[in-house]
Structure 1
Amino acid sequence: MKKYTYALPLRWADADAYGHVNNALFPRYMEEARTRMFQEMLPTDEAGRRQHAFVVSRSVVDYRAPLSYREEPVDVHVRVVSCRGARLELAYEIRDADQLYAEATTLMAAYNLETGRPRRISQAELDFLSRCTES
């Protein structure tokens, strides 16, 4: 797997008065896809998740085309751009087969919520993330 794809269903409430998905929701779509990708990597217990968290330190979204509300889901592709130390960079595309709606990146820090401090990315996490890394 070189990228993770999540088919995101749109909600009627996501649309503005013009029938377009509000651009403020695109980071939420990215979060949803990223969270689902991380489910396989992160511990299942609450204490483990708190000790092996990732927090967003920067997010940039380039909007390419309006996304109109529709019944069909939109695909959110996630791939790892770089990963080392305590830093993780992810890239996203929000698209369907014919149209790119947005491209984005997030910088994330591996973080221990219990201590309130950054942590190093573990070898198990690096192994998982390497499956989603650009060539």
Structure 2
Amino acid sequence: MSTSVAAPFVVAVPLRWTDQDAYRHVNHARVVTLIEEARVAMAFTAAGEEGLTGFASGLLVAGLNVDYRRQLPWRAEPLRVEITVRELRAAAFTLDYVLRDGSGAGSPVAVTASTRMALYDLQAQRPRRLTDPERDFLGRHREDVS
């Protein structure tokens, strides 16, 4: 059994001066913010451009895992973040992130992470199910196991 990725969502996430620590590396806690910015670009901006506004009105992080593989030196160039979807369920899904130390697809992997996401109806204060268009959008970036 081999694992291949259909088409990751790719976004360049800029580094801010305040992301660095005293050693001029990106601070470990700021990496979580960079992951959030990549997720917003996918679930709010890209999905919104396709008329899908449901994620922006109720998408909660239910779990977070971050593995630091190498230090990220601060610099002016953005990081390349690749996002794939895993465990697509009725009202939840998992996003897997690869943060690369550079903007190219072949740049070294610095961080891998995942977030378990839950869809939530903020008005009704309860979980909600994915719509078919949301499922289709996420499916384009789904991890394909064959």
Q: Which moved more, 1:79-88 or 1:96-105?
A: 96-105
Could you say which residue in structure 2 is the equivalent of 1:121? Answer: 130
Give distance in 2, aligned partners of 1:105 and 1:63: 12
Residue type of the alignment partner of 1:78: I
Give distance in 2, aligned partners of 1:70 and 1:84: 38
Residue type of the alignment partner of 2:70: A
Could you say which residue in structure 2 is the equivalent of 1:75? Answer: 80
Q: Unaligned regions of 5+ residues in structure 1, if any?
A: none
Q: Would you say 1:87 and 2:96 are equivalent positions?
A: no
User: Residue 46 of structure 2 is aligned with which of 31, 40, 50?
Assistant: 40
Moved over 4 A (4+): 42-45
Q: Percent identity?
A: 38
Give the number of aligned pairs: 132
Give distance in 2, aligned partners of 1:48 and 1:71: 30
Could you say which residue in structure 1 is the equivalent of 2:3? Answer: none
Alpha carbons of structure 1 residues 48 and 65: separation in structure 2 relative to 1, 3 Å = closer
Q: Would you say 1:8 and 2:6 are equivalent positions?
A: no
Q: For 1:52-89, what per-residue CA distance to the aligned partner results, in whole angstroms no more than 9, with x for missing partners?
A: x2100000000000001011111111110121111110
Give distance in 1, aligned partners of 2:133 and 2:95: 18
TM-score (norm 1): 0.90
| CA shift for structure 1 position 40 | 2.8
